[in-house]
Amino acid sequence: MVEIAALPFAFPLKPDAVALVVIDMQRDFAEEGGFGASLGNDVSRVTKIVPDVKRLIDGFRKAGLPVIHTMECHRPDLSDLPPAKRDRGNPSLRIGDQGPMGRILIAGEPGTAILAELAPIEGEIVIEKPGKGAFYATPLGEILKERGISQLVFAGVTTEVCVQTTMREANDRGYECLLIEEATESYFPEFKTAAIAMIRAQGGIVGWTAHLDDLLEGLPHA
């Protein structure tokens, strides 16, 4: 066990039982012409964390530790897309519509792909998820159980939606969860600040937060 400087107190990292989960670092959320931009968001807030997310992924790879990627996407026939999700608000493009990078958030479309700089390598797990959380309607729970994983380190977007939702799902299932602050982002800076505060409130009610350099110092060979 290695103690990682974190809040609200040190995180007891167990290198033989930890995995990195990188949430939804997809073109549709990070590039102009994607779904995020179509909603009026400043996608540069997402692209700015790419170097730190890459450092985090590289650290886990060098340490020989599992890296798991998630992608929010739906079946081409939209059978796993509830109307309440597709019809929410009044966006210029809805999930399933044709956009500049193919159909919005549909599995296999160019815009749904993970950013090239952060792309999975052979042997890394990719979870396609129809919801905000990575456990809902996916095999993630079974995969983690099979591998003896009890701790999850989180990165990705957005902090207050898919990242926090997955952390809460994991917390309810008994996982110890650590969020790396430089490797997550929101389109709204105040939402990221609030989400981080929520996660580590009341003695770490959802989990811990830490800085990237502090984690990398505790990873073997990173």
| Residues assigned a catalytic role | 24, 129, 162
Q: Distances from the Cα of 64 to the Cαs of 19, 30, 143, in angstroms? A: 10, 28, 17
For 83, the token pair is 């109307």
Q: Nearest 10 degrees: CA dihedral of 135, 139, 141, 147? A: -140
Q: Which helix (H) or strand (E) holds 142?
A: helix 140-146
SS3 87: coil
The alpha carbon of residue 15 and the mean position of all alpha carbons in its chain are separated, in whole angstroms, by: 20
Q: Find the DSSP H helices in 42-111.
A: 44-47, 50-62, 83-86
Interatomic CA distance for residues 114 and 127, integer angstroms: 11
Q: In what order do the strands lie in the sheet with 125-129?
A: 125-129, 67-72, 18-23, 151-157, 176-185, 208-210
Residue recorded with tokens 């984690």: 215
Take residue 190 and report the two structure tokens written for it.
């105040």
Sequence-distant (6+) residues with CB within 8 A of 105 are 28, 35, 72, 73, 74, 95, 96, 111, 112
